[in-house]
């Protein structure tokens, strides 16, 4: 459609100053659509389409005729695009002169903006700064949104690194570096949690027999290998819910949650002792160790105390050592229940 020199000049100015606009003729059909508005519709061809086919005027309510629209000149219009995304926009309509010549006579210019929906519109229609007038505040909002996104992503990455470092530091603080088992600090935390709760548990103090002879004969590197093999064997012979901690050179503590039966503790202790008597291959030979175990059960105490149970299990352990090693003793308040006497003259 020919708009004439004046009309073409007007269109060029509008495309530059407010690229998201529509020029309507007197019949309410689109004579021209700004480049940004055309981008909001899939086919981009809006020429000669009716206003009502492109926009739903939500407020103020009118019959949609051009005469009714021209009466809303200067008012804030709330519209919705008649498209797949039904994006909501704001608009203002400015009537064109009635005494002009050509197709612009009796028409109007409808200028649009996204309002607070700018960020979603930029995402939905892949808009860039070139789709807005250079003086449009939307440009600054886009820069602010982009800067905020970059800052938030950097903050998220930093938080993830800090959280990972924190978890790694906590894990290291509660882990025995040689065996990968829990350490004494972790054991103290577990005992505090268990004794403050209502779950029964058993505690076994495990001490290796003849470990000094391994270091003396094969060297400390072989001794470290034996400790690692012992740790792996103990993990294999216990449940995933059980906690095993290395609390000294060749001293270990095993926590058995939900275990309150002396007989069951005795069976577990005997199985561990038998497993730890298997020969262990070291780089320069084969060695053997065994274990003595002292145990205490929280169900034997009116008010369980982690420190008291550790002390009582330790006394039971020394009793097992005195009986010849390679056996277990379970502490009770007045007497002790022990496994079979397996001294056999062992030292």
pLDDT single digits (tens) 311-347:
999 999 999 999 988 999 999 865 444 554 443 333 3
pLDDT of residue 342: 41
The tens digit of pLDDT for each residue in 250-268 reads 999 999 999 999 999 999 9
Taking CB atoms within 8 Å and a gap of at least 24, the contacts of 336-345 are: 337/262, 337/266, 339/266, 339/269, 339/270, 339/273
Distance of CA 282 to the CA centre of its chain: 43
Query: Active-site positions?
Result: 250
Structure-model confidence comparison of residues 99 and 310, the more confident one: 310
pLDDT band for position 169 (cuts 50, 70, 90) = low
Question: Residue 78: which H helix or E strand, with range?
Answer: strand 77-81
Q: Which residues pair with 14 in a beta bridge?
A: none
What is the percent of the chain with per-residue pLDDT over 90, rounded to a whole number? Answer: 45
Check whether 66 has a pLDDT greater than 80: yes
pLDDT of residue 344: 37
* Distances 146 to 48, 129, 224, 240, 323 between C-alpha atoms, Å: 37, 12, 55, 48, 75
Pair 283, 224: CB distance under 8 Å: no
């Amino acid at each position: 459609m020919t708009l004439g020199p004046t009309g073409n000049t007007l269109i060029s100015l509008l495309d530059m100053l407010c690229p998201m606009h529509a020029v309507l003729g007197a019949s309410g059909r689109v004579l021209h659509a700004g480049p940004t508005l055309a981008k909001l519709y899939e086919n981009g061809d809006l020429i000669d389409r009716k206003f009502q086919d492109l926009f739903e005027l939500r407020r103020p309510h009118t019959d949609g005729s051009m005469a009714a629209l021209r009466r809303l000149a200067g008012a804030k219009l709330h519209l919705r695009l008649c498209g797949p995304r039904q994006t909501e926009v704001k608009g203002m309509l400015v009537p064109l002169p009635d005494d002009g010549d050509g197709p612009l006579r009796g028409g109007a210019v409808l200028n649009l903006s996204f309002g607070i929906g700018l960020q979603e519109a930029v995402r939905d229609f892949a808009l860039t700064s070139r789709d807005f007038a250079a003086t449009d505040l939307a440009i600054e909002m886009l820069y602010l949104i982009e800067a905020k996104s970059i800052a938030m992503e950097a903050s998220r990455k930093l938080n993830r690194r800090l959280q990972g470092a924190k978890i790694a530091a906590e894990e290291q603080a509660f882990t025995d570096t040689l065996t990968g088992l829990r350490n004494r600090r972790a054991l103290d935390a577990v005992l505090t949690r268990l004794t403050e709760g209502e779950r029964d548990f058993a505690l076994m103090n495990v001490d290796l027999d003849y470990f000094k002879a391994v270091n003396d004969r094969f060297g400390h590197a072989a001794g470290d290998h034996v400790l690692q093999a012992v740790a792996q064997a103990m993990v294999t012979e216990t449940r995933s819910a059980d906690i095993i901690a290395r609390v000294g050179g060749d001293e270990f503590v095993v926590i058995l949650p939900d275990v309150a039966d002396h007989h069951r503790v005795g069976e577990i202790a005997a199985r561990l002792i038998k497993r730890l008597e298997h020969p262990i291959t070291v780089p320069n030979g084969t060695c053997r160790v065994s274990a003595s175990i002292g145990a205490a059960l929280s169900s034997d105490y009116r008010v369980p105390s982690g420190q008291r149970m550790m002390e009582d299990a330790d006394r039971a352990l020394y009793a097992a050592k005195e009986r010849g090693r390679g056996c277990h003793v379970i502490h009770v308040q007045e007497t002790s229940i022990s496994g079979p006497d397996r001294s056999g003259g062992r030292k």
